[in-house]
Structure 1
Amino acid sequence: MGVFNGQKIIPAVKEMKDFERVLKREEAYFVVLEVHISQLARMRKAAREANKKMILHADLVQGLKSDRHAAEFLSQTIKPAGIISTRADMLRTAKKNSVLAIQRMFLLDTIALHTSYQLARSVEPDVIELLPGIIPSYIRKVHEETGIDIVAGGLIEIERDVRQAIEAGARAVTTSRHDLWK
């Protein structure tokens, strides 16, 4: 069935009321974009009790430095289903601890793209989250260049954005838009 067990829309949670909402949904996977470190254990416990798979954006955890120690804490203590990061140490530590390693890649310019390719070759993440996710030609291009499954995220605002990303080869789309969480 592949990455995310075929789930095409992955809700992105920005606030606690969104977290409570995803716990009641049928889909298993969701992404936590912003959270304070003090909330992590409670959120992980609630997600497990609801049979949900929490993916944590490590670079956006408030009160946590994005270094090797933080990576070990997240991977070994919190144990999310996945960790999203732009940092090599965070991704390597996730992989070492059998946590899904998702490299966040920003399409800013050619230099940023090539730097991200180098990181992907070095780390070999399980998945790449491509931002913004509304550029179908780059979804194809990055997948062809790396051979890694792509998730599209950022600026996904309407159903057409979702459809075009999936048609371009994205395995899934992350979005904070509740109306797209169907």
Structure 2
Amino acid sequence: MLPLLLASSSVYRRDLLARLRLPFSCSSPDIDESHRPGESAVELVKRLSLQKARALATLHPEHLIIGSDQVAALNGQIIGKPHTFDKARQQLLDASGASVTFLTGLTLLNSQTGHYQTDCVPFTVHMRTLTPKQVERYLLAEEPYDCAGSFKAEGLGVSLFQRTEGDDATSLVGLPLIRLVDMLLAEGVAIP
């Protein structure tokens, strides 16, 4: 098996990949993550996941490189990481009683052959109706300012959900393991 490389500095993605019990290393690619005019959210995350993998291919010529990118969409508009309390508060109040769809682009690139597989895995969170006090208590407790949608699904953020909808809950955190396993199996990786 070629060595696995996760093209990410995300601790969340690293923790998810570790669940597969395969040895891997991490490296953060330096790419322009700008949204192109007229580009759909699906096209954006697929393009960025492929760009992240390709950005590391020259430095790692005999690896299976995993690239991933995620956006959240509310009412058809991409919402990013809030970075501040005030922006997170507004995102959660806007999402109150609504549905937020997370689109996760995933690429597995064989840098030895140049062959790659790319997909987009959607996952939808139907939010509870939230009061400003609930939102503020949550934000002060968990500080999810580096998370698209302003919550950590793997933590207390789940208390904000009414229900979820999708084929792979790990895609919500940023690395769809079920689809990744399909890709790894297609490359001949033995799992489990």
Q: Fold match, TM over 0.5?
A: no
* TM-score normalised per structure 2: 0.25
Structure with more of its chain in helix, by fraction: 1
* TM-score normalised per structure 1: 0.26
More relative contact order, 1 or 2 (CA 8 Å, 6+ apart) = 2
